[in-house]
Chains A and B, each alone.
Chain A
């Protein structure tokens, strides 16, 4: 499991680099973010929550049951929307109200 960064969208703000708990994301000379150590990702998704232009996607490796879906979050009307781009091209979303507690 790891992340991928779409450099055509990245604006080089460096927020993902700053927040990664493993300092695994670096900024290249063209001011584009890239993950230098993809196998060292813990899967916390902090970078995805920080990215202001939604350039980062989270995915599961095949070794833990990954089937090619890509996931990111966006803030929509005060809700956190998790967007799952499934490998068959379909999209599923789950909205979470940050002001609401988990039920479990």
Chain B
């Protein structure tokens, strides 16, 4: 059926825009960190494909080579990666990401460090640039010194690093948390106490492992890596659901979303915005525009004039935990 006719029949054009910690997104899709976020040219392309916001690949103070290849592999139910935070360091990042107004959507900076002071320093160097917000991934499962391997995923470390980052900028700060923690709400609460403006839920799951039978060898260069994509989706949804219950902060729901229906599930679990990453493998950067088109069609079907009215809708059902 013709979509235009649909809208006329429905008598309204669904409003997909959302406000995320005061940042207006034309639609809720966000390019997740670590996918295609290496250059401004790629961010521009993803924004032109329809993303509501884009996130750069994480930047540290000094350049990092990351782990040996293979670093990212597709398996039958998702991606597994141990890239190891390769990045050119904050100095080059400041050159690469200057003039961000060329990008047709808000740009979020993912910032990493081995301790609170490093986060502060990287954020300080990036402050003159046009980033709309900072994201702190305190939850990478496969890089020594960082994320969960650096002890950053505990409530105490989350509080400490978030506080430090909060003091370094007036822009919104998002804290990205791990799906591994059974009490994920406690981490979200610590981030909130530290001054976070939003929670990004979730980072990759695991680490997991794949083994080459012929050579009896783990396949990833680092041996193990974070799991994303379809395998992560139901876990990510439950995490978003739990975080929504635990804290009154907006959530960027990330994990295995590749269709408008998946994105709508995230919104109903409590997400204000929806991260998309691994789906680029299956559908290319064009996946953003397709998800947005499908969400619009779903809003029409559901009679929802504003997508934001559906945030957390699944919590209104009685009898659920």
Partners in one complex: no
> Which positions in B face A, CB cutoff 8 Å?
none
> Which positions in A face B, CB cutoff 8 Å?
none
